[in-house]
Chains A and B, each alone.
Chain A
Amino acid sequence: MLVIALAVLAGAALLAAWALRNQASYFYVPSEIVASPPEPGRAVRLGGMVEKGSLRTQADGVTLMFVVGDGKARVPVRFSGIAPSLFVEGSGVVAEGKMRADGTFVADNLLAKHDENYVPRELEDMDQHQARQVVSETR
């Protein structure tokens, strides 16, 4: 009895998790945005890596332009405001905002996504395999 009940419960949990598989993601990655663009004006979150060398500050000093990529697709992003201090090129970011019809993503808010590596400052440049890990981590 107990074993059957436990098996049924575990099955139900797995089904629920499976149903949530696509719904419970906190953000879309660029390849998902490019493959099926959300309708312009709908509030979505975009997450990925800030491409190295893509970050530009506009003449007004508070508007940032950068490209978010996941290795397969790239989405240009515009953001006006104060970015979190961990927001840098080559690092993960989650942008909250809307797609525009021309394919740019206009963000109202930026969240910096930290990776799973914890390294003291002095060792930062020592191992290259971690840099590769960071890139592969956001797919």
Chain B
Amino acid sequence: MHRLANPARFLRIARWLTPAFLLSGLVLAGLALGWGLTRVAPDHLMGETVRILFIHVPAAWLGMAGWMTIAGASLAELAWRHPLAGIAARAAAVPGAVFTAICLATGSIWGRPTWGTWWVWDGRLTSMLVLLFLYFGYIALADAAAKQGEGRARVAAIFGLVGAINVPIINRSVVWWNSLHQPPSITMGGSSIDASYLVPLLAATLGSSLIFAGVVLARMRALLADQQAEARLRRKAMAAA
């Protein structure tokens, strides 16, 4: 971690890692989605709509993993003042929010033909919607804090840590409370998803995660470039004055 603390070294590594993540992720997720949409057999109850699985589950995973990235980076920011932590947290927020929105949208589209409703206020759906609102709040807060300068970044980091409480609630919601959403299919003990679905699902999840990592790196580079451009402008203005 500390070897990466130097932004120049980080940028050198990120320059080739970003396209590597993005390309491998796009290829893997594309293949897995293509396979899932055209090749797998319909489910015994849900029929063709089971194919939404291959978008819905990776999106749900990344929605939660995105916030854990924010929380981990926020901890690094608060505890060790890691110079890249705040940037990493801000970079993960937007793709995390996008995947959460994809999860909610595909879940709603899936709910209509299977459950018979677009939306219910059960534990899983409600806590996932709360996660989307937490993302919106974090994005607004972190951007405003970044504009105001150094000292304010701690506020966003505290918000990032406190918001992480919602992630285990999402994860456990279908176990703690009776919910319309079914209990987890993949647990520590194994999986109740047939292998013909599980393999493309895991490939789609890995591919989406690589895309997510690539987007985060690309956004970190953009945010660092922003910072450098601003610092240079400030220096010029100081020299002119």
Number of residue pairs spanning A and B whose beta carbons lie under 8 angstroms apart = 110
B196:A116 contact, CB within 8 angstroms: no
**Of the residues A10, A47, A112, A119, contact of B194 by C-beta under 8 Å:** A119
A26:B180 contact, CB within 8 angstroms: yes
Task: Decide if A111 is an interface residue (CB 8 Å cutoff).
Answer: yes
A9-B178 contact, Cβ under 8 Å, with A26-B122, A86-B114: no
B178:A25 contact, CB within 8 angstroms: yes
Nearest-neighbor residue (CB-CB) of B126 within chain A:
A24
Task: Decide if B140 is an interface residue (CB 8 Å cutoff).
Answer: no
CA distance A75 to B161 in the complex (A): 45
CA distance A94 to B116 in the complex (A): 10
A121:B42 contact, CB within 8 angstroms: yes
**Of the residues B115, B161, B182, contact of A6 by C-beta under 8 Å:** B161
Task: Decide if B20 is an interface residue (CB 8 Å cutoff).
Answer: no
Nearest-neighbor residue (CB-CB) of B201 within chain A:
A118
**Of the residues A91, A94, A137, contact of B45 by C-beta under 8 Å:** A91
B40:A9 contact, CB within 8 angstroms: no
A17-B44 contact, Cβ under 8 Å, with A84-B116, A111-B115: no
Nearest-neighbor residue (CB-CB) of A117 within chain B:
B192
B43 neighbours in A (Cβ, 8 Å)? 118-121
**Of the residues B114, B172, B185, B194, contact of A120 by C-beta under 8 Å:** B194
A114-B194 contact, Cβ under 8 Å, with A120-B41, A120-B44, A122-B41: no
Q: Return A12 CB to nearest CB of chain B, in Å.
A: 8
Q: Return B43 CB to nearest CB of chain A, in Å.
A: 6
Task: Decide if B53 is an interface residue (CB 8 Å cutoff).
Answer: yes
B46:A86 contact, CB within 8 angstroms: yes
A17 neighbours in B (Cβ, 8 Å)? 169, 172, 176
CA distance A29 to B79 in the complex (A): 46
A111-B120 contact, Cβ under 8 Å, with A28-B178, A86-B115: yes
CA distance A13 to B117 in the complex (A): 30
**B165-179 contact mask (Cβ, 8 Å, vs A): 1 or 0:** 100010010001111
Residues 100-135 (chain B) with a chain A CB within 8 angstroms: 113-117, 120-123
Q: Return A40 CB to nearest CB of chain B, in Å.
A: 22
**Of the residues A2, A26, A122, contact of B120 by C-beta under 8 Å:** A26
A113:B192 contact, CB within 8 angstroms: no
B178 neighbours in A (Cβ, 8 Å)? 25-29, 47
B196:A10 contact, CB within 8 angstroms: no
A113-B182 contact, Cβ under 8 Å, with A26-B120, A120-B40, A130-B192: yes
B: which residues have CB within 8 A of A?
A: 40-46, 50, 53, 75, 78-79, 113-117, 120-123, 161-162, 165, 169, 172, 176-180, 182-185, 192-194, 196-197
Instruction: Taking A10-B165, A13-B169, A117-B193 as given, write out 13 further A-B residue pairs in contact, using a Cβ cutoff of 8 Å, ordered by the A residue number.
Output: A17-B172, A24-B176, A25-B177, A85-B113, A88-B45, A94-B180, A111-B115, A111-B120, A113-B115, A113-B182, A116-B192, A124-B44, A133-B192
Q: When A and B form their complex, which 6 residue pairs have the shortest distance between CB atoms, in order from nearest?
A: A84-B116, A120-B41, A26-B122, A124-B44, A25-B178, A13-B165
Q: Could you give 6 example pairs across A and B, Cβ below 8 Å?
A: A26-B179, A86-B114, A113-B180, A114-B114, A118-B185, A120-B194
